[in-house]
Structure 1
């Protein structure tokens, strides 16, 4: 009987220890990635400005997607030892915070790190344009080449170079709206484009801007004999009194137009709350595709 009680006591102890392990299992201790802002490097003369607005990072660990994080980010990783990290540069399609996406024309940043539990690895990611990225045009207003946006469709003011308020370099582009004389201005590229989606679906327009009035962007093509040019404008920006950058995703818009040839255009207009005289400043306009 005494041995039986000892056996029951031993079994009770084993059960108690096992139950504790089930209720309070030992937790893994993560390593951490401290990810700082991206830097962009461009090829002088062929890719334009190195200004970027990379706001998020998409993190992949050993090929598995871990999550998207606002930059700068501190990311826990349940890995130890040599680990392959891939970071994709994230932007906001059309400047909308609820439409984050990987920018398809930037190279991913890759690094292999020896991760250790409860230690932090610092990453300063860099990127560049993919070698497959093509630039249909770059308008930076910096030289004496013919200007890109010269077809004045509506209004009485042209897009001109200015040194009065410059984003970077020596010049930016400027035009004005006037409630009395020119409340709407529409300007398109002097040249026609075609086949931008032959190498891939993505077509983006990068723009630096500072504006007192809203501006919408898109495509103009196939003039109607009576109504004139057909316009497809969709993404745009609102008034902003500080320089900003935006990535316009024109992929779906261009696909929907079914134009064989088209101009890239924009339309600016005064709202009721806009100043009677409004100024729009533009710089580093890039049309990028594959």
Structure 2
């Protein structure tokens, strides 16, 4: 008898759910496109990006954060203001999704129709009030210098197997048993003054079979302090590909000493278990608000 009673209740519950939950409209969002900002006149450098997600607002109400591309139901009909914020994974960690404040939100007014899908192809660009420091290896005067006292491996220009975002050259470091350590710093005349309490980011395009680590150096009247930042993990030789990472600088800068300038540094060490110790690097870009 109990079994029959439950079967009898199911149609009633199902019918109740249908009445209380009308069919949704659907929002489908493709991957992000990063375009040039005409106001910057090319100052933003190569337009590589890894915008993995979007914060979604409809009529100023947060719907959620979703990995692009996606399709989600919206329990709303009629004309709506839809706003998407470009979102990155800070330091390459999937759990640390953050709106990239350096990029403009994508906003559109559109009609949401029940049982129909609205597709959006979001486009963004860098904001006009940004400062950029870029090393793209297109100039013979490289802004990174190998440490003459400790670095046995060297950063050199290379141009074989170029990708569209490499321009004419990229940086390459080869490590072996003799040239077993690479340490490089941005040149002393390239020290940056970056404000506290504003988002600042280091962007890097890279391809590597051995790990290499980024450091942020504080330079002030008391000397130089070295801050360990993320390590770019290695990839197997048969799976090597160019990747991009966004490294958040602003938290370290805000917590650090006042009246400091900042230098970028990189370190890598030979790994005898890997036959070809290779680091390719390009479009090193510090982006910050003044």
Band of TM-score, shorter chain: 0.7 to 0.9
CA distance in 2, matches of 1:265, 1:236: 12
Pairing 1:139–2:96 present: no
Maintained 8 Å contact 1:215/1:238: yes
Pairing 1:74–2:68 present: no
SS of equivalent to 2:51: coil
Which deviates the most, 253-262 or 165-174?
Answer: 253-262
Aligned to 1:170, which of 161, 168, 181?
168
Pairing 1:158–2:154 present: yes
**Equivalent in the alignment of 1:212:** 209
Larger radius of gyration: 1
Question: What is the TM-score of this pair, normalised by structure 2?
Answer: 0.83
Maintained 8 Å contact 1:152/1:158: no
Maintained 8 Å contact 1:165/1:172: no
- Shift of residue 192, structure 1, vs aligned partner: 4.4
Change (3 A) 1:221 1:27: closer
Which deviates the most, 240-249 or 252-261?
Answer: 252-261
**Equivalent in the alignment of 2:35:** 41
Aligned to 1:63, which of 55, 60, 63?
60
Structure 2: gaps (5+ residues): 1-12
Q: Note the alpha carbon deviations across 1:78-104, whole angstroms, 9 max, x for none.
A: 111110000011111011111111111
Q: How many residues are paired up?
A: 266
CA distance in 1, matches of 2:254, 2:266: 18
Equivalent residue runs for 1:90-101 within 5 Å: 90-101=87-98
SS of equivalent to 1:242: coil
SS of equivalent to 1:262: strand
Maintained 8 Å contact 1:106/1:130: yes
**Equivalent in the alignment of 1:104:** 101
Structure 1: gaps (5+ residues): 1-18
SS of equivalent to 1:142: coil
CA distance in 2, matches of 1:213, 1:106: 31
